[in-house]
Amino acid sequence: QITLKESGPMLVKPTQTLTLTCTFSGFSLTTLGVAVGWIRQPPGKALEWLGLIYWDDDKRYSPSLRTRLTITKGTSENQVVFTMTNVDPMDTATYYCAHRGRSGNTYHHFFDFWGQGTLVTVSS
Amino acid sequence: DIVMTQSPDSLAVSLGERATINCKSSQSVLYNSNNKNYLAWYQQKPGQPPKLLIYWASTRESGVPDRFSGSGSGTDFTLTIDSLQADDVAVYYCQQYSTTPFTFGPGTKVHIK
């Protein structure tokens, strides 16, 4: 069974760096085609795709946030780390990590398993 | 970026009636090479993460009730909920996974009339 869970600070000050960890189980990020994505959702608003990291360490980022985002594999094989620099109150949101969806024997860029999300508030 | 729009913003449906949600992409998400539409639908209930309902525009995810169906091709798509149940009250999002960034629609809120 695939599970994911986000962890990190609930409150971050403006201009600081936000670091979140996604700890997952039920799959390996070394398996061909597997990827973990990050999506956020400001309170009461829609989902925003942020980026993802693939099994081969390739990454894709949202162009609008590319300069501020970094996604890496964690020191543990079952972790992915998300970093956002120079945060602003507009970055206040629930941040989700999610597993790249599978159709038959291939993976595609929908998300079939999601973490519960972690609410991050940016405020001084 | 491919911009996703949804209509209506909000929808009130009586129990047992049909709900229809529309999603439009600013560019086609149909790949001619495999004739697949790179379009997914999610359901999000309050306080919960999104749940995948449909991918390839019309393929139901395992375990999703068959009252949920997806249709459409190219740039215009529809999610239909037949015989709405109280448990279907949620916000529904479409997502294109054709081209990065893999953008989501703004959501459609479904509630009971």
pLDDT in tens, B25-84: 999 999 999 999 999 999 999 999 999 999 999 999 999 999 999 999 999 999 999 999
Residue appearing with tokens 């009339």: B113
Computed over every residue of chain A, the mean pLDDT equals 97
Eight-state DSSP code of residue B88: G
- Phi, psi of B85, deg, nearest 5: -105, 160
- Name the residue in chain A with its Cα closest to that of B39: A110
The predicted structure's pLDDT at residue B80: 98
Cβ pair A110:B40 closer than 8 A = yes
Note the pLDDT of residue B57: 98
Q: Name the strand (E) or helix (H) holding A105.
A: none
Find the CB nearest B55 among A39, A49, A110.
A110
Q: Do A108 and B55 touch (CB under 8 A)?
A: yes
SS3 content of chain B, % helix, strand, coil (to 5): 5, 50, 45
The model's confidence at residue A118, banded by pLDDT at 50, 70 and 90, is very high
Average pLDDT over residues B102-108: 98
Predicted pLDDT at B91: 98
- pLDDT tier for residue A117 given thresholds of 50, 70 and 90: very high
Q: For position B53, what pLDDT does the model report? A: 98
Confidence band, pLDDT 50/70/90 cuts, at residue B4: very high
Q: What is the pLDDT of residue A7?
A: 98
Mean pLDDT over A55-66 rounds to 97
Cα of A32 to nearest chain B Cα, Å: 19
DSSP strand pairing (A106-114 vs A35-41):
unpaired
Band (A57; pLDDT cuts 50, 70, 90): very high
